Structure 1
Amino acid sequence: MKISVILAHPDAESFNHGIAATAEAALKSNGHEVFFHDLYAEGFDPLLSAAEIPKGAKLDALTAQHCAEIAAADGIVIVHPNWWGQPPAVLKGWIDRVIRPGVAYEFIEGDGGEGVPAGLLNARAVLVFNTSNTAAAREREVFGDPLDTIWKNCIFGLCGVTNVQRRMFGIVVTSSREERAGWLREVAETVDGHFPACV
């Protein structure tokens, strides 16, 4: 299987990088082809220009590569911190530029864009791993867990992927080495469960 792994965290020493590396290693160990992108490290430009909005617009080489890979992916893994209940700006820009018409979704004939799009992604599953310094109960009760809604309903659900699983790890800032090691084992087990070894 072909799996896209998208990482969005500016600190190369972050726990997010540990999560992404663990997911990548588990996927490769299971025999999958991995498209790995550290958006900060590769300097991905998050700004969507007016010229790039229309379906079929000319894209720069890096964005075109991302689009081709996400369209071909049998699975997707997203790793990012929870910043103000949202993904980091570089990842939001990646969504704007890569999860685009003709690649991830399309509107049916006669729909001018005001309706519900038809999903085009081939991915059978999406795993989203987040880190947070907010307690899970507070996230749910006070903020309504916006990241769950964003990834499941506002993005991948509209692109044809019904199996979207998200796991939030926290509180990271006060976590112990043992807790983080346990979380990384959980990442590997989750990846194995959704993308088992190729037969």
Structure 2
Amino acid sequence: MRLLFIHAHPVPESFNRALCDCAVATARERGHEVRLIDLHAEGFNPVMSAEERRRYHDDAPPPEDVAPHIDALRWAEGLIFVYPTWWYSQPAILKGWMDRVWRPGVTFTVPAKDAPMRPALTNVRLIGVITTFGSPWWFWTLLMGAPGRRIILRGLRFCTARRTRSFWLGLHEMDTQTDSARRRYLELVRRRIARIPL
């Protein structure tokens, strides 16, 4: 499978980067075609300009910095997001990436009036998330309603193939976890990626 990993963490020596490295290495070992978008490493600009927004629904070519990301989305059969959950959702750079890259005509179509939107990224048949949280699971899930999960596994998934499969892996209370708990989570990530069919 052609797997596109999207990583969003500013610190290269972070545990989150270790999670990304583990997932990417496992996918390559299993024989998948792999691409990695490291948003911070490439200096991706998450801010949509006024002019970009004015042309958002036009058929004009996307901005030059966005075009390679669109190409990667169209290449991929699986999308795997690796990021920390901050303030109950995706980091700003990843949310900005969604705003700028998941555009009309690329990931969804806007048909005539009174007709529903339709998915356009039907080459994608797997979406996965590998994340960490500062909060306990009950706070994020029961009190906050899991907003970050809904954005990806409902919102973005709508734009993909009809029977797109998904997975969600999360390590809660990251700041107080032991080294052994982090190692167990890395192993969980490795096993889950190893199960993705070619």
Which TM-score applies when normalising by structure 1?
0.89
What is aligned with 2:7? 7
Q: How does 1:1-199 map to 2 (within 5 A)?
A: 1-52=1-52, 53-108=56-111, 110-111=112-113, 116-121=116-121, 122-160=123-161, 162-194=164-196, 196=197, 198=198
Kindly provide the amino acid, as one letter, of the partner of residue 85 in structure 2. N
**1:51–1:57 CA contact under 8 A, matched in 2:** no
Q: Secondary structure at the match of 1:68?
A: helix
1:34-62, CA deviations, whole angstroms, 9 ceiling, x for partnerless residues?
A: 11011011100001224331243333333
**Distance verdict in 2 for CA 1:186–1:55, change over 3 Å:** farther
Kindly provide the amino acid, as one letter, of the partner of residue 179 in structure 2. R
**1:55–1:100 CA contact under 8 A, matched in 2:** no
Q: Secondary structure at the match of 2:34?
A: strand
Q: Distance in 1 between matches of 2:159 and 2:18?
A: 29
Q: Secondary structure at the match of 1:40?
A: helix
Kindly provide the amino acid, as one letter, of the partner of residue 173 in structure 1. D
Q: Secondary structure at the match of 1:70?
A: helix
1:125-178, CA deviations, whole angstroms, 9 ceiling, x for partnerless residues?
A: 111111101111121121111112111222222444632221111221111111
Cα deviation for residue 77 of structure 1 reads: 0.5
Q: Distance in 1 between matches of 2:115 and 2:95?
A: 22
Deviates more, 1:59-68 or 1:184-193: 59-68
Q: Secondary structure at the match of 2:65?
A: helix
1:99-144, CA deviations, whole angstroms, 9 ceiling, x for partnerless residues?
A: 1111111123x13xx7542112211111111110111112112111
Q: Secondary structure at the match of 2:5?
A: strand
Deviates more, 1:19-28 or 1:50-59: 50-59
Paired positions, count? 193
Q: Distance in 2 between matches of 1:116 and 1:18?
A: 41
Which TM-score applies when normalising by structure 2?
0.90
**1:23–1:191 CA contact under 8 A, matched in 2:** yes
Q: Distance in 1 between matches of 2:177 and 2:42?
A: 29
**1:2–1:72 CA contact under 8 A, matched in 2:** yes
Q: Distance in 1 between matches of 2:190 and 2:115?
A: 38
**CA RMSD of superposed structures (Å):** 1.7
Q: Distance in 2 between matches of 1:163 and 1:55?
A: 31
Percent identical pairs in the alignment equals 32
